[in-house]
Amino acid sequence: MAGTWRTLTNLPPAQVATTLLLTDGTVLAQGMSTNKWYRLTPDASGDYGNGTWATMADSVHAPLYYASGVLRDGRVIVVGGEYDGGAMVWLLGAEMYDPVANTWTTLPTPAGWFQIGDCPGCVLPDGRFMVGQVGTSQTAIYDPVTNAWTAAANKINSVGEESWSLLPDGTIHAVDCSNPPNAEKYVIAANTWVAAGATPRVLVDSISEIGASALLPDGRLFVIGAAGFTALYTFPAIANQPGTWAEGPTIPAVNGSPNGAVDAPACVMPNGKVLFTAGPITSPAQFLTPTYAFEYDPEANTISAVPAPANSTGEAYLGRMLMLPSGEVLYTACVNGVELYTPDGSPDPVWFPTITDHPASVRPNRTFTLAGRQINGLTQGAYYGNDATEATNYPLVRLESQTSSDVYYCRTSGFSTMGLQTGTVVHTCDVLVPGTVPLGGYYLSVVANGISSTGQTVNVSNKWFKELKYEIIEKLEIIDDMKLKRIVEIGDLKAPREEVKLTRESDIDFLDRIHDEWVKTVRTLAVNLDRANAQLGRTFIAPAERPAVGPPPPEIEELDVPVVSEEVARRGQEKRAFNDGREEIEVSQEAHEFHEMIHALSRSGGQANLRKGMTTRATYAIEASDVGSAAEGADTRDTGKATKATKATKASKASKATSAGKATKATEATSAGKSTKATRATKVTKATKAQPAKRVRKQAPETPPDE
């Protein structure tokens, strides 16, 4: 049975694209192709559908299609960007957002990198952030503690438009978009990339795109292809071994038209199913409308069509999904409308996070430590093709009032791990109680990827636990004295009955005067002691005891993909930087050439090395083991002419033959009678500098006539 969609009551101030779940339960959303950021806060009962929006601090850049993540201290990191302010520049930049101070800070970039662009990224279990440089094999890791980048091991194949997914065995998995159908994974502990087999069918399309790779609660990786097929990967017992692959079901056709996830979002829901979007596919590939929604059921091993969100009017790549602590999926699509998807069913009880330790009483504006099992969840929650990482594998903590429907989210930080499927291992996080929480009794729960633990009784008080303990001891001593006094008086046979009666009434009056807060605290201590004993006696499923995976065979169909001309396909092979009628900002011919080379990566044999030359011409080159193979798929402007990749290679060789600044000699080194692509790029660059940037419809540019 499919879930249901509903539209947020309050619209965001602008078209919003990428969203990130902050550790206080609010949502940070970026305006599409702007440096404007907004925050969605749920209403008093924790309902995001009736939440309100606020404008936050501006970032330095206005990136679009980039890597991002929430770090273990609760800050947000944003790296790269295919666009900046609507211009395709392959941004070399990184920034950090501090949600407490509401400020953005510029970060350093990896040493020696000439650009970052729409890079894949992933938060490591130890809290560092890893990215790859598209078009090369280089990767780097950012350490938020030292505010510095460290070069990591090179990939076996070049970094492409691939999805990086964190696995429970401490590896990062990637299906190689530069060398399909091969896959590889990064073994974090060994700082090395190893082969991870090959997908049963090619999942990468002709423009080197792929869909999301989502980790399932049972430990398998569900990979959604851009070519209409899917696959399932099972990681091995030893991390540096390849693992095994199995075919997944084919993405269903709609009205006879095959569909694929050409850089589209997906989200693992609390019921264990995967919600994802896809759109029509052709050969050669392109980004097409409309967007359709589907659910993958791991138990049945089937994909079913579900109603599409009302705001999915554009291509599938415009969509983003975010798992909320309410168990709903937030869907944005670079428009003003925002949708919420409520899935059917409920989580398997084995997936619940559990609290093993917390204080009996907490104070507003104070921090305490919470300990528990599986508090980071079983998956990263939200996934995308490569350049919209919105993972939510960190604990959120909320307080639900015992006397009303009010819900308060506490700010969490200091996560002991960002790993997945941690099983019986106890992990911790720091929890800051908001100053706005009224005093009284609450149910404390920890939420991971929309799955909540059982609520634990806790008291919010202005007193420290030690103060309450001393108060309890003091009042118990007073009660003991009163009891002793009463025994003496009762034993005095000469004492009138009336005097004994008054004494007893005095005792009762005294007990009535004991503060309600003290009584609640004593009750809380007793209840929590019982709960702690119950938690200690709970049985957990160890990783080795995971049930055997035995779903029915998938439904696989042979797809009849429509064939279109190169010219028709070319018009739909670039993403939009704006979704409001504005045209992209033209920067240079070089940017378009580089973009086309990125789209040709799947034919490079995994050995592409796109680099920016150090000469004044700023040439681009693709160096592959089989240049002819790489050039074979590149778009040509006129039949019979050399491909753009081949021309760029010749320009690079000419560039290597000269010293920086001697552009004329480089020109002479090229084939007689034809100017090199580097010279043409220089002219375009000079023309761009001489004239103001124009807003033009972004299409594949025509090749200038030979001189």
pLDDT band at 119 (very low <50, low <70, confident <90, very high): very high
Cβ burial, residue 361 (10 Å; 0-12/13-18/19+): buried
The answer to whether 76 and 69 are in contact (CB under 8 A) is: yes
The answer to whether 562 and 282 are in contact (CB under 8 A) is: yes
pLDDT of 583 strictly over 90 = no
The answer to whether 41 and 52 are in contact (CB under 8 A) is: yes
Distance separating alpha carbons of residues 37 and 57, to the nearest angstrom: 7
Strand bridging mode 361-362 / 456-460: parallel
Q: What is the dihedral of CA 328, 332, 338, 343, to 10 degrees?
A: -20
DSSP state of 659: -
The answer to whether 635 and 596 are in contact (CB under 8 A) is: yes
pLDDT of 262 strictly over 70 = yes
The three-point CA angle 164-253-568 to 5° equals 80
**β-bridge partners, 245:** 233
Distance separating alpha carbons of residues 27 and 19, to the nearest angstrom: 7
Cβ burial, residue 61 (10 Å; 0-12/13-18/19+): buried
pLDDT of the residue at 423: 94
C-alpha pair distances (Å), 154 with each of 133, 150, 176, 484, 621: 10, 12, 13, 79, 19
The answer to whether 155 and 162 are in contact (CB under 8 A) is: no
Give SS3 for 165. strand
What mean pLDDT is reported for the chain?
A: 82
Gyration radius of the chain's alpha carbons: 30
pLDDT band at 516 (very low <50, low <70, confident <90, very high): low
Distance separating alpha carbons of residues 165 and 173, to the nearest angstrom: 5
Each residue of 10-57: pLDDT tens digit? 999 999 999 999 999 999 999 999 999 999 999 999 999 999 999 999
Give SS3 for 321. strand
Distance separating alpha carbons of residues 243 and 173, to the nearest angstrom: 11
pLDDT of 472 strictly over 70 = no
Distance separating alpha carbons of residues 611 and 113, to the nearest angstrom: 9
pLDDT of 281 strictly over 80 = yes
Cis before residue 349, ω within 30 degrees of 0? no
Higher pLDDT, residue 159 or 541: 159
Question: In the structure encoding, which two tokens stand for residue 364, read together?
Answer: 């507003």
The answer to whether 223 and 273 are in contact (CB under 8 A) is: no
pLDDT band at 573 (very low <50, low <70, confident <90, very high): confident
- Show me where the domains of the chain are located: 465-514, 594-690
Distance separating alpha carbons of residues 597 and 589, to the nearest angstrom: 13
Cα 702 to chain centroid, rounded: 37
Distance separating alpha carbons of residues 462 and 465, to the nearest angstrom: 9
Type of residue at 132: G
Dmax over CA atoms of the chain, in Å, equals 131
Give the mean pLDDT of 663-685.
Answer: 36
Distance separating alpha carbons of residues 648 and 645, to the nearest angstrom: 5
Give SS3 for 80. coil
pLDDT of the residue at 316: 97
User: 623-652 as b/e, with b when 16 or more CB fall inside 10 Å?
Assistant: ebeebeebbebbbbeeeeebbbbbbbbbbb
Backbone angles phi, psi at 168, to 5 degrees: -65, -20
pLDDT of the residue at 674: 37
Each residue of 57-68: pLDDT tens digit? 999 999 999 999
pLDDT of the residue at 531: 60
Each residue of 419-429: pLDDT tens digit? 999 999 999 99
The answer to whether 204 and 198 are in contact (CB under 8 A) is: no
pLDDT of the residue at 526: 66
**β-bridge partners, 427:** 372
pLDDT band at 624 (very low <50, low <70, confident <90, very high): very low
Distance separating alpha carbons of residues 347 and 232, to the nearest angstrom: 21
Q: Inter-axis angle of helices 465-491 and 516-536, to 10 degrees?
A: 110
Cis before residue 265, ω within 30 degrees of 0? no
Mean pLDDT is lowest, of 195-204, 459-468, 512-521, 566-575, for 512-521
**β-bridge partners, 195:** 184
Each residue of 123-174: pLDDT tens digit? 999 999 999 999 999 999 999 999 999 999 999 999 999 999 999 999 999 9
pLDDT of the residue at 178: 94
pLDDT band at 484 (very low <50, low <70, confident <90, very high): low
Mean pLDDT is lowest, of 163-172, 634-643, 653-662, for 634-643
Give the mean pLDDT of 278-304.
Answer: 97
List strands edge to edge, sheet with 165-166.
165-166, 171-175, 182-187, 192-198
pLDDT of the residue at 478: 62
Question: In the structure encoding, which two tokens stand for residue 265, read together?
Answer: 């979002």
Helices marked H in 369-496:
465-491
Closest CA relative to residue 134, chosen from 153, 111, 116? 116
Tally of CB atoms within 10 A around 487: 10
Distance separating alpha carbons of residues 60 and 572, to the nearest angstrom: 30
Mean pLDDT is lowest, of 111-125, 456-470, 654-668, for 654-668
Distance separating alpha carbons of residues 157 and 182, to the nearest angstrom: 9
Higher pLDDT, residue 278 or 537: 278
pLDDT of 221 strictly over 70 = yes
Whole-model pTM: value is 0.79
Give SS3 for 55. strand
